[in-house]
Structures are given as C-alpha cells and as structure tokens.
Amino acid sequence: MRCIDGSPRLAIIHSSSHDTGFDHALDAISNLSAAAQLHRFLVARSDRDLEQSGETSSAAVANGRLDPVDLLKEIAQAGVVSRIDIVSVCTKSLDSSDQEQLANASKRLVQQLRLLAPKGAIVNDYRTFVADYGELMPSETFFDNAATANLIVIPQDRESDLTFAIPIRSADRASFGWHAAIEIATLAGLWSPVDGSPLEQFNSVNPGIDEPIVRFVRSIVRSAVSTHPSVSELIESGTALPVAHGCQAAPDPFYTASVVAEQAHPEKFRLKPLSPPPQRSQIGGWEVIKRVCEQIASDLRALPTTVRQGLKHFPNSARRAQMRRSKRERQN
C-alpha cells in the first residue's frame, strides 16, 4: 500500500467490538477483499472490558480472511513506512458510552504509535462517523479537535451528482453495511488498483475552540470483477467435467488440474529443456567483403604448400594404380 507520492504507508481501521453496524460493514469489506479489490490492511477492535489495559483485538485482512495478529509487531515488521492512517469508525449502533471508550482508545493508540514511530514517519488520527439518515451526529465525546480530521459519512446512496439519492438507514443492515464498507475503503485508500487516499489531502485543523470541526464526506465508486473462465469453457465443452462415482467436483478446478498434471506427468518423463541458441552477431556489408578477401588471401598464401604436398603424394598414388593394373592382367 502506497501514498500518492509512491512512498509506503499503512492503514488501520479501528472500531469497537460492540459496534454491530460496523460488523455488517466488515462482512462487506471481507467480500471485497476476497474479490481482490482491496489492499491488505489491518483492523483493530477495542473493547470496553479492555479499557484499563488499552489492548485491542487485531487482524490482518487479505484475500477475504481475517488473520489475528499482534498489532505493534505487525507494524514493526512492515518495514519502512512514511505514514500510518488510523481511521476510527463508529456507527449509530454504538451507544454513547462505547463511543467515548472508542475515542479514548483511539487517542491512546495514536499516542503509543507516535512514541514508537521513527523520525519522519507520521501517525494520523481520523474519526469517522457513519451516520444514519436523519441522525447525523455521534455522541459529544467521539469527535475531537486534537484528531487530524473529524468526518461524517453522508447517509445517501447517489448514482451521480445529477441523480436523486436513496436514504441509507441502519435498519437495512445489508445496504447500510455495504454503504459503510465502500466509504471506509475509499477514505482509507484501500482499493487495490489505486495508490494513495483522499485522507492525504486533508489538512489538520486546530482552531483552539471546544466545538469540533467536522467535514462531511461522500464518494462514488465504480468497480468491476472479472472471473476466470471455467475449465469446461476453456476446453469448449458445454457440460461440466465428469466426476467419478462417489466423489465430488473440485471446488477449484484450476488448482486440481495443476496438481493432477504434476502427478500424471512427473519430471522424469519430461524432455530436457532445449539449450539456448548460439548468440548471433550482425555485421555490415563492408565487414563481409573484408572477411572474404582475407580468406582468399589466406588460401593464396597456402597454395604453394598445398601443391607441394600434392606432388609429393602423386608418385605413390601412380605406383599403387600401376600395381593394381598388373595384378588384373596376370589374373586374366
């Protein structure tokens, strides 16, 4: 995952383990990840029961899987990074006390990473509220002007700026989950074909007042997934591949075909690889004429020696021919 300028970065999506609205978004994010539409990123879930120790339950999201990881160790093993974006997300499903706990956990996590960060690395704190239609504001304790930016996702689904919008309500869990997933992926810059994120273009605002400064955000995304053709399509067969009696069709025909091919055609039955062809050089016309003339001159210089060797061997050849003729005459 890289920034707009090409430097490496990390994205951490931080939420409360009690936020059921985010759970639906995480399901949609996993589906997008399984379709290879998202970069590998980290998810950290804080819990009010772990508030005293400041611990989080963390996982790496890649290829649709959530693999548990040690967050600090995973960040340390990521190598050189120029920035870490911590996107703390909450929805209406999270009650006020848990929103406050999430805000405090975000602050502790940011402070801890800033203490551990090398010189020149930036750790950003983004607070994001996925609003419900008709209820735009979180609790008073979630947003903080000390954060890099406070964001409210507009609860509307709009095909373009010229079309009417569809209200997004948390009661429709599937629609709300996908809406939240798309907005989170866009804000955090998780889309695999894209480098950078819109968050890099946000300037930190510290107005010195108690009321938090809030930005409203909305994105429009177009994506397409191209699936591999099936084995039957590749061999131009209208039916599925045959399955032996008592067996089931392979869930991944391409993997099965590769394994079977290795076993059916082992290494000892394969021809050795052809040796690479000799390297050819290209020469010009004058170079060809020069080499031909040199060869002619060499042959002319060797001509006297060739003639002498021929004359030297000629008497022996004539004598052997005369002996063969005399032998034939005596036999007759």
Going by pLDDT thresholds of 50, 70 and 90, the confidence category of residue 86 is very high
Structure-derived torsion over alpha carbons of residues 175, 190, 141, 18, reported in degrees to the nearest 10: 60
Taking every pair of Cα atoms in the chain, the longest distance, rounded to a whole number of angstroms, is 137
Q: What pLDDT does residue 298 have?
A: 86
What mean pLDDT comes out for the span 65-86? 92
Residue 227 has pLDDT above 60, yes or no: no
In this predicted structure, the answer to whether residue 324 has a pLDDT above a threshold of 80 is no
pLDDT class for 56, splitting at 50, 70, 90?
low
Give strand pairing partners of 86.
12, 125
Q: Is the dihedral of CA 155, 159, 165, 168 positive or negative?
A: negative
Average pLDDT, the chain: 82
Mean pLDDT of 229-256: 65
Give me the sign of the Cα torsion angle 247, 252, 253, 259. negative
Q: State yes or no: pLDDT of 221 exceeds 70.
A: yes
Instruction: Determine the pLDDT at residue 52.
Output: 47
Percent of the chain at pLDDT > 70 equals: 82
Instruction: Give domain limits for the chain.
Output: 9-217, 290-332
Asked whether the predicted pLDDT for residue 81 surpasses 70, the reply is yes
Rank 86-100, 136-150, 285-299 by mean pLDDT and report only the highest.
86-100
For position 317, what pLDDT does the model report?
Answer: 63
Distance CA 226, CA 219 (A): 23
Query: How many CA atoms does the CB half-sphere of 67 hold within 13 Å?
Result: 9
Which tens digit of pLDDT belongs to each residue from 57-75? 899 998 888 999 999 999 9
The whole-angstrom separation of Cα 150 and Cα 117 is 23
pLDDT by residue (tens digit) across 248-293?
Answer: 777 677 777 778 877 877 777 777 777 777 777 777 778 888 888 8
Q: How far is CA 106 from the centre of its chain?
A: 28
Separation CA 302–CA 159 (nearest Å)? 89
| Residue with tokens 């990881």, as numbered in its chain | 69
Average the pLDDT over each of 5-9, 22-26, 134-138, 232-236 and give the range with the smallest value.
232-236
Tell me: pLDDT of 93 over 90: no
- Asked whether residue 49 carries a pLDDT value surpassing 60, the answer given is no
Say yes or no to pLDDT of 322 above 70: no
